[in-house]
Chain A
Amino acid sequence: MSRFLLRRLPQAIIVLFGVVTLAFLMTHVVPGDPARLIAGPNASADTVASIHHELGLDRSLGYQYWLYLRQAVQGDLGTSYALQGMSVTSAIGHALPVSAAVAVLGVLWEVLLGVPIGIIAAYRPKGLLDRATTLASLIGLSAPPFWVGLLLLYVLAYKTSVFPLSGYANPFINYLILPSFTLGLGGAAWYARLTRTNMLEALRSPYVQTARAKGMPESVILLRHCLRNVLSPLLTMLGMDLGYFLGGVVVIESVFGLPGIGKLTFDAIGTLDIPMITGAVLFAAFFIVVMNLLVDLAYAAIDPRVRR
């Protein structure tokens, strides 16, 4: 196990280094001048130049990169241009609980909706239920989440006021159910497919034949014997989704007016708040890399074949 870790960890670090580099490059090698934007349209050239200097934008790109890298390693992602001297890390820290709540609940919905559908579909492959659920899940992943969210808002918040329209206040759970459900609905289709495929594979194995020969009821075979085979691929997908969602789901947060990381990034784009954009993108990618690493490690812990 430790040898696997020793091999996998440097890989993750190299990827993280690449992530920082790419995030820096994409926001710094650009035509726009943030100093101009901060100074406003009527500022003199001198003012713009002094802001330029203040932000360190007059230094060479290589030096700026080196500085950014050095600070990023220490967890310092710079200071926001727009949010009056607030550090990027603390702004992200404030928004993280919202995004984390949506992410965790969203993954929960994915599993709650997807896995049972997959089991039902695998029960009689090519049967009516299988076809219906396959088509339903295909529709689920073809529907744009922002549209589904708006539709849910229209029916459940505007027409029938079951849920609040938008925003984020106490009791928070009321404001989180619809966004997380919207998020989970699209992903659930993948979980249904994954569950179905793995269940069907397990159903063809000899031990299922033995169980059937012993006269075990089909429900026990499905739920106790086959479902286990779905667990590790499920864990992989779950971990990766969580990593993906934690970085903020821009579209969902925008539809439901949630103050998460996605919203933070989106607002930063309007003001060309470069440190904030870079920081948020970096942060999101960081989560994905870390969750990938954790999933790989969990896999290796469960399945010794992976360690080799």
Chain B
Amino acid sequence: MTAPLEIPQGDPALPGFGLRAWRSLRKDWPALLSIVLLVLLALAAVLAPLLAPHPPLTTYPDGLQANGAPVGPDGNFLLGADPNGRDVLSRLLYGARVSLVIGILANGLATVLGVLVGLVAGYLGGWVETVLMRITDVVMSFPILLFCIALIAVTGPSAKNVVFVIALIYWTALARIVRSLVLSLKEREFVVAARTLGLSHWRVMRKHLFPHLVPTIIVYATLGVASSILIEASLSFLGVGVPVPDPSWGQMIEQGKEYFQIAPWLLFAPGVCLILTVLAFNLAGDWLRDLLDPTAPERR
């Protein structure tokens, strides 16, 4: 008489990801706040045409005073007008689109590139690894902003170029992290087994290694959006980012710079938006790190 075989049902002590996430969020108010902020930001960006009190590109004669200086916050222009007589609040809302879209796209591309390079270098090893990692070293040796500025100078400023340029320089840190993870993973039994079964390299990388990298990738992708948004803002501030007249927060600060003595609101509003957005992505990234990948090294 043998007892019926017990089928393992999974450890009941381990709740699902959603529940774990919610539990840790309830205890971690900065993280909760950052998630709320990100949701609000996304809503603001998506609903900008509905929320904006004025069209972002229209210049209003009553946005300027008789001496040509922009008018301050009042009933018509809730956050004041900019030096061209445009509504600051409306431009801020539309600027959220630019920051988010460029930050997410640029960092998404950089993440794909970084994971590919790190995965291939770590898994294949040999001369492929040497070449890929030396290229990583070279790209890492360039100062990020200077590299971006120089590349945009020769390719011309446009939102598309900003995305590509940020992606081109920003993949290196992730490539190094992924490579070192893959180096230790590929010695594990399940990878050796998969290779012994004769699976193709591509399949081993995609089906057996990649799933183990996902938590780390999510953490760094979130933190990376924060940096990408800051880079975009810096480029736009220097006048080599998103071309005028489309609003971007960095560019709004650049335009307000000349008038900041008489119209400080031109600096405050976009600056506060930038800080809050970047902070929210950083906090969310830190929270995800604690949740998904507590051993992940801090990135610089």
Contacts and interface: CB of A to CB of B under 8 A. Distances in A.
A pairs with B: yes
Nearest to B270: A147
Interface stretch (A51-59, A69-77, A217-225, A276-284): A276-284
A144 B141 CA distance: 22
B150 A277 contact: yes
B154 interface: yes
A22 interface: yes
Interface string A150-169: 11011000100000000000
A278 B150 CA distance: 8
Contact of A15 (B138, B253, B300): B138
- Which residue, of B138, B238, B264, B298, has the highest number of chain A Cβ atoms within 10 A? B138
Interface in A253-283: 254-255, 262, 265-266, 269, 272, 274, 277-278, 280-281
A244 interface: yes
A19 B138 contact: yes
Interface residues of B, number: 43
Contacts of A277: 150, 153-154
A193 B300 CA distance: 11
B146 interface: yes
B255 to A, nearest CB: 12
A193 B298 contact: yes
B241 to A, nearest CB: 12
B105 interface: no
B271 A269 contact: no
Given A15-B141, A32-B154, A147-B253, A250 B149 contact: yes
B260 A154 contact: yes
B124 interface: no
A189 to B, nearest CB: 10
Interface string B116-152: 0000000000000000001101110111011101110
Interface string A225-237: 0000000000001
B146 A144 contact: no
Contacts of B67: none
B150 A27 contact: yes
A274 to B, nearest CB: 8
Contacts of B230: 142, 144
B267 A154 contact: yes
Given A14-B134, A144-B271, A138 B279 contact: yes
Interface in B215-255: 226, 230, 233-234, 237-238, 240, 250, 253
Contacts of B141: 15, 19, 285, 288-289, 292
Interface in A182-219: 190, 193, 197
Nearest to B300: A190
B237 A144 contact: yes
B149 A269 contact: yes
A70 B156 CA distance: 29
B147 A18 contact: no
Nearest to A29: B154
Interface residues of A, number: 54
B261 interface: yes
Given A32-B154, A197-B298, A285-B143, A147 B283 contact: no
A254 B143 contact: no
A143 B227 CA distance: 11
A284 B143 contact: yes
A139 B279 contact: yes
A281 B142 contact: yes
Contact of B143 (A14, A247, A255): A247
Nearest to A269: B153
Nearest to A251: B234
A68 interface: no
A24 B137 CA distance: 17
B243 to A, nearest CB: 15
B92 to A, nearest CB: 14
B48 to A, nearest CB: 21
B300 A150 contact: no
B143 A244 contact: yes
B146 A284 contact: yes
A247 B253 CA distance: 25
Contacts of B261: 154, 158
B257 interface: yes
Given A274-B154, A284-B142, 12 more contacts: A11-B137, A15-B141, A18-B134, A18-B137, A22-B139, A142-B275, A145-B234, A146-B237, A147-B274, A151-B271, A251-B145, A281-B147
Interface of A: 11, 14-15, 18-19, 21-23, 26-27, 30-32, 135, 138-139, 141-147, 150-151, 153-154, 158, 190, 193, 197, 237, 244, 247-248, 250-251, 254-255, 262, 265-266, 269, 272, 274, 277-278, 280-281, 284-285, 288-289, 292
24 contacts: A14-B134, A15-B141, A22-B139, A23-B142, A31-B154, A139-B279, A141-B282, A142-B282, A144-B250, A144-B275, A146-B237, A146-B250, A147-B267, A147-B271, A154-B260, A254-B237, A265-B146, A272-B153, A277-B154, A278-B150, A281-B146, A284-B142, A288-B143, A289-B141
List the 5 shortest-distance A-B pairs measured between CB atoms, nearest first: A18-B138, A269-B153, A30-B154, A142-B278, A142-B279
